Structure 1
Amino acid sequence: MAAASLFSVFFFFVLFNLLLFIHPCSSSCPKSFSCGNLTSLEFPLAQANKTGCGLFTVDCTEPSTPRIQLTGDGRQYEILEKISVNRFKLLDPVIQQGLNVSQSCLIMRNLSLPFSPSTSFTFSPNLTFFTCDNRINENGTKWDVFKDYRNYTGCGGFTVFYSNSTNQFPPGSSDFIPGCTTVQMPVKSNQDSGNLFDMLTAEFVLDWNVSDDCKACHGRGGQCLADNLNQFECKEDSTSSAVVVAAAISGGSVIIVACLFACFIVYNRKKRMDASRNATRHPSKSDVTGGSFKYGIVVFSYPELVKATSNFAASNQLGDGGFGIVYYGKLKDGRDVAIKRLYDHNYRRVEQFMNEIKILTSLRHPNLVSLYGCTSRRSRELLLVYEYVPRGTLADNLHGDSAKEAPLTWNLRMKIAIETANALAYLHKSDIIHRDIKSTNILLDSSLCVKVADFGISRPFPTDATHISTLPQGTPGYVDPAYYQCYQLTNKSDVYSFGVVLIELITSMPAVDIGRNTQEINLSNLAMIKIQSGAFDELIDPCLGYKTDAEVTRMTTSVAELAFRCLQNEKELRPSMDEVLQFLKGIQAGGDGNIPHSPETDDALLLNNKYREQRSPIAVTDPWRSDSNASSTG
């Protein structure tokens, strides 16, 4: 009993000190705050430096133009006016810029409002538009439902349908119209204008309502969150004052029993966590087909995805991925999705399937494609469900059918280059090497924003490692020659592949074309030869404005020089991905990107007499290891 009493005193002492420690934190979130002329801002708003105090952050860096961030993608809206506690007048800078520069088609997208179990949103005035991909409507009959709607066909790859009289789907149609995306846009109060873009505005009034559950959670000092199924979850401190009081009046013997029981639970939980970590480190086929996923993503039923794709109809096929065919689909909740279907069920495919799930569930970036979920372990096929990216691949928009309908201007290509570099720099900072960067893995949404995709063969790259030893994998024309020759994968391998993409952007040519001269079949070889000889006029696509527009000439030439450095055979001579990003931003801002020159690199770089011809080892006639028989050695 003496020992029990002594343990009880010790236990009370610990609880008392813990209570003192917790108490000051409960008041760290102010009840209200001000930002410039905006006063009495309350929950769910929070200051940007007050993590966990609210659902949406207000940036007061520039008090004259306060901004609110509603989602985790970094997009901010300027606050024009506080109308009431939960009603604000906002301005979308992205839409405003699009209207100002007359690139109106690029702004036809939904506002980036969160889908949250804690809060509901409405914005007004608004109108529903239907942006429909012209490639899906080959026979011209699928869109008869819009016969009474106005239409705008000046957007190149898609047609916009709209009606002033309704915000609903057309009469006689369902919420599944293949190839069409429903978009709500802010419009001016007077919607009678016959011109589509005269109706649009960047200003709108946003209302929000916080759920009762979230209000109660916040009142208790908790945080309103969403679980893996997007259901409401309240995160509270496990040690509340009620628990402290209850524990304080408990007997010593009860405490000892409780502690022993808690130790037993912790011990068993630790065993399960260790087993889970081991399973994660060594994914096997059973993780997918006979076990369960542990990555916190939504699990879809196979019949649901069969219905979403009209039984994987050939008309819904979007293209071939790294290890499966990709189909367009429409989920029952109305979301447009892209569904990747494995070619077969062998171990190699399953390993790539698991690899893509692990990587995409651990990364969040606006220029990486979002993974919505996958099929369950009992599914007859393994399927991945991604966000649908309607404008297709960069390759198709540069030298495919889409390029003929709506060629990309140089400013758009520069934007695409920067956003792709931004995504790759983020991956490298997250210790991930993409390993298969190419124009067919760079997708464009309806606003021509980049979404880098296909992480089936990506690899984690430890920060203290100089390389990973593995058999070369990737796509002919894009593979790093140092990787191919030495079997050493580094983050500079992605830099080389990105250099090929830069050349595609300035030439509008594919990375491999057997119709070109032998030494120029690989675009990287062609570029190195032309740039080294200063023949930029034989390399850069004249349709971009080269030689007729001084600014385009300056930027395309600078990008060509940057690509030259990315394509060096010796990986040490290539810049890092973060440096590439900064160079591109510098070029866009009006300089040459501050591309560095030094005596050590000039001998191997641009326009010198000691230039050695450099060719990609992955030519069409070279021996090639396919993904199906290549295996990692490290």
Structure 2
Amino acid sequence: MPMPLLMCRRVLLVLLLWVAGSHGDSSDDSYDSSMCLNEPSSCGSVQISYPFYLAGKTKDLKGNADSYCGYPGLGIFCEDDKRPILQLNGAASYTVKSIDGALATVSLADPEVDDSSPCRRPKTDSNVTLQQGSLLYFPDSTVDYLIFFINCTFNSTFLQPSKITPISCQTLGGGTGSSFVLPDDEVPLGHWPQACRKVIQLPVHKDPIKYADPGWENGGYADLLRQEFQVGWNASAKPQECVQCEASNPKGRCGYSRAGVFIGCLCPDGRSSSNSTVYCDSTGLKKKNTTWVIVGAVVGATAVLLALAAIAFLFIRKRRQRKVVNSSSKLLKYRYSGSGGTPTRSRGGDMESGSSQDMGNRFSYEELEEATDSFNEKRELGDGGFGTVYKGYLGDGRVVAVKRLYNNSYRRVEQFVNEAAILARLRHPNLVMFYGCTSKESRELLLVYEFVQNGTVADHLHGPRAAERALPWPLRLNVAVESAAALTYLHAIEPPIVHRDVKTNNILLDTDFHVKVADFGLSRLFPLDATHVSTAPQGTPGYVDPEYHQCYQLTDKSDVYSFGVVLVELISSKPAVDITRQRNEINLAGMAISKIQKCQIEELVDLELGFESDPATRKMMTMVAELAFRCLQQNGEMRPPIREVLDVLRAIQDECLGHKDGGGKGKDFVEPFSPNTVHAPWDSRTTTPNTSQ
């Protein structure tokens, strides 16, 4: 039987089963009417209505534990029955001054600024940011940020920038150091913030008050803290179930558990429905008209069958005339709608069927084209992972990085789909946050993820930002620790993930120099019961595991080798491959092995990091070099697992910092093996593999 006709019969069978199943037990239930604010409620002078809700004063579907009717994150606490409070970041409490449903904004203020104290500061003691994926956002047009640098003690390592002035208060952080309050665009570059005990970022109203104005350091900044500022909510980012609920007839409202999980559509007649095909459509009417529904469904199924037969005929007739440009669309459709798929959340209003992999939120091509100014060359951030990356500005105010496919070949589309599927399931503070991608109908596949604005580690080590010297040794060691933590997470989840392209160009840095590991275009899910996966070698010259290149066997130790190269870059400030070096030192891994074996580490490291002037730094860098030596063993079995690498790095960091403070080795300190303790013979010959893309 021709495949298209077989497919048509299967579709008809599925439709008939759906008709039979749709008249079984109803998923409808009743809910406590107190869950929804059917009429605007008030707290003080503020009117509160859906999608906001009064937190702590509603019941769940059974009238037991708390749940709510509204959007996640829009719960308002009514303090003393007169003061409406909205929490940002789960901790910072702000007074709600007004809610504008038409503009989708809420005005907030911090009334806790203590004007009677010489140390004017906000009530919150932590950064006020909004979690990725939150419905709330800070509009760039109305919100700026103040950065508090609290209790800073400068020394020869961390010097005070000459262009900033401490505020008059000397006890802001409970210490004797100086404190500073700066707008985020006035913060000088460099690593001087490490001299401060605490750094806090707060949103404030965008105001003409400037840092250079007289009186700023004597409390003028407090005027900004007292002013109202706006927070917006992006209704288009709500889950697809909620979109369908609100679009039903009669209109429903979205119910959520305290964990933010959609629990049902709350209907005006007192029902709650989790049946996405009807939601608040009348259940009684549906049951009374069962016969007509069945007849209609059969007629519809017949029409669908005929339509599919016609499509199959056209497909057979036209398949050899299709252009290569349609290949990516065909592959995407296959990958997105594979057997056994579950619905994924759509950003554009359509519920798409994913493969077993959740692809995240959906963006339209037009939305991302507008966000990147039609993929303007001036917005290019770089190339990587089979695509060009652009800086973009979404309509909700978020700054994002948009990755665009180089061309429409099957191989490149598969790599992008792989990256999207992997990124969508990962949650770790040192991994780049994935927002979503375009839908299967899009002319191109585009990936959208958070914009990390401080460049790559490669930029700071030996790239365009190396002259800034913004990465002193303590920061470099922390980069190693956080990068190893991200890889440890990837290797520990089920099924494990091997990155396959670990390099300093894929380690991004945020404004606080914290790590965000990126570019999962080469990542591969690793079967739980496998010791290795056979696959054609891919990666970047200078970082590819020689055993992987020779034997086509991918293991988690392949990432360990690449990370060993990263460690050498951190201590040497040298690129992984440099054809201007001597022939036997073009490959940094081979150069490092040779220098470490000969106890010539001083010829490998960047001496400007304090290797010769600071004994503690010398000790740390030597230990990291020895750890890199272990990671670079040609025999993968001789390399430590990434979990052990992380433990050693943390021990080096903790022990040496404790030594600077007068302490000795911690009891859990793990001494890295020296080159002499690695008994397996090491062939120092190096291979620079070709990049296969």
Matched, 1:155 2:173: no
User: Residues 513 and 522 of structure 1 are in contact (CA less than 8 Å); yes or no, is this contact kept in structure 2?
Assistant: yes
Quote the Cα distance in structure 2 between the aligned partners of 1:346 and 1:81.
51
CA positional deviation for 1:558: 1.5
- Cα deviation digits, residues 440-465 of structure 1 (max 9, x gap): 11111222221111111110001111
Quote the Cα distance in structure 1 between the aligned partners of 2:111 and 2:472.
30
User: Residues 592 and 604 of structure 2 are in contact (CA less than 8 Å); yes or no, is this contact kept in structure 1?
Assistant: yes
Match of 2:404 in 1: 341
User: What amino acid sits opposite 2:562 in the alignment?
Assistant: S
Matched, 1:403 2:466: yes
Quote the Cα distance in structure 1 between the aligned partners of 2:446 and 2:524.
21
User: Residues 442 and 452 of structure 1 are in contact (CA less than 8 Å); yes or no, is this contact kept in structure 2?
Assistant: yes
Identity within the alignment, %: 42
SS in 2 for 1:413: helix
Alpha-carbon distance change, 120 to 525 in structure 1, aligned in 2, over 3 angstroms: closer
Quote the Cα distance in structure 2 between the aligned partners of 1:323 and 1:364.
23
CA positional deviation for 1:207: 12
Q: 1:111 aligns with which of 112, 129, 132?
A: 129
Alpha-carbon distance change, 480 to 210 in structure 1, aligned in 2, over 3 angstroms: closer
CA positional deviation for 1:77: 7.6
Q: 1:167 aligns with which of 187, 199, 206?
A: 206
Q: Where do 1:184-333 residues align within 5 Å?
A: 193-194=215-216, 223-224=256-257, 233-235=262-264, 285-286=328-329, 294=354, 295-302=359-366, 304-333=367-396
Alpha-carbon distance change, 615 to 286 in structure 1, aligned in 2, over 3 angstroms: farther
Q: 2:613 aligns with which of 538, 548, 551?
A: 548
User: What amino acid sits opposite 1:419 in the alignment?
Assistant: E
Quote the Cα distance in structure 2 between the aligned partners of 1:90 and 1:481.
61
Q: Where do 1:113-132 residues align within 5 Å?
A: 113=131, 116-117=134-135, 127-128=144-145
Unaligned runs of 5+ in 1: 1-14, 24-40, 45-49, 57-69, 92-106, 131-148, 171-186, 244-248, 259-283, 629-634
User: Residues 506 and 519 of structure 2 are in contact (CA less than 8 Å); yes or no, is this contact kept in structure 1?
Assistant: yes
Alpha-carbon distance change, 509 to 110 in structure 1, aligned in 2, over 3 angstroms: farther
SS in 2 for 1:334: coil
Match of 2:538 in 1: 473
User: Residues 477 and 616 of structure 1 are in contact (CA less than 8 Å); yes or no, is this contact kept in structure 2?
Assistant: no
Alpha-carbon distance change, 469 to 551 in structure 1, aligned in 2, over 3 angstroms: same
SS in 2 for 1:504: helix
Q: Where do 1:353-502 residues align within 5 Å?
A: 353-428=416-491, 429-430=493-494, 431-502=496-567
CA positional deviation for 1:346: 0.8
Quote the Cα distance in structure 2 between the aligned partners of 1:343 and 1:596.
46
Quote the Cα distance in structure 2 between the aligned partners of 1:576 and 1:198.
53
User: Residues 469 and 487 of structure 1 are in contact (CA less than 8 Å); yes or no, is this contact kept in structure 2?
Assistant: yes
CA positional deviation for 1:616: 6.2
SS in 2 for 1:443: strand
SS in 1 for 2:442: coil
Matched, 1:614 2:665: no
Quote the Cα distance in structure 2 between the aligned partners of 1:472 and 1:594.
36
User: Residues 300 and 373 of structure 1 are in contact (CA less than 8 Å); yes or no, is this contact kept in structure 2?
Assistant: no
CA positional deviation for 1:331: 2.0
- Cα deviation digits, residues 335-391 of structure 1 (max 9, x gap): 212121211111111111111111111212221112222233343333222211111
Q: Which moved more, 1:376-385 or 1:460-469?
A: 376-385
- Cα deviation digits, residues 243-265 of structure 1 (max 9, x gap): 9xxxxx9xxx999x99xxxxxxx
Quote the Cα distance in structure 2 between the aligned partners of 1:514 and 1:570.
26
CA positional deviation for 1:523: 1.0
User: Residues 586 and 594 of structure 1 are in contact (CA less than 8 Å); yes or no, is this contact kept in structure 2?
Assistant: yes
Alpha-carbon distance change, 316 to 566 in structure 1, aligned in 2, over 3 angstroms: same
CA positional deviation for 1:478: 0.7
CA RMSD of aligned residues (A): 5.9
Quote the Cα distance in structure 2 between the aligned partners of 1:326 and 1:221.
36
User: Residues 288 and 376 of structure 1 are in contact (CA less than 8 Å); yes or no, is this contact kept in structure 2?
Assistant: no
User: What amino acid sits opposite 2:596 in the alignment?
Assistant: I
Match of 2:415 in 1: 352
Alpha-carbon distance change, 290 to 397 in structure 1, aligned in 2, over 3 angstroms: same
Quote the Cα distance in structure 2 between the aligned partners of 1:517 and 1:322.
30
SS in 1 for 2:675: coil
CA positional deviation for 1:512: 0.8
User: What amino acid sits opposite 2:364 in the alignment?
Assistant: F
User: What amino acid sits opposite 1:467 in the alignment?
Assistant: H
TM-score of the aligned structures, taking structure 2 as reference length: 0.56
Match of 2:569 in 1: 504
User: Residues 398 and 407 of structure 1 are in contact (CA less than 8 Å); yes or no, is this contact kept in structure 2?
Assistant: no
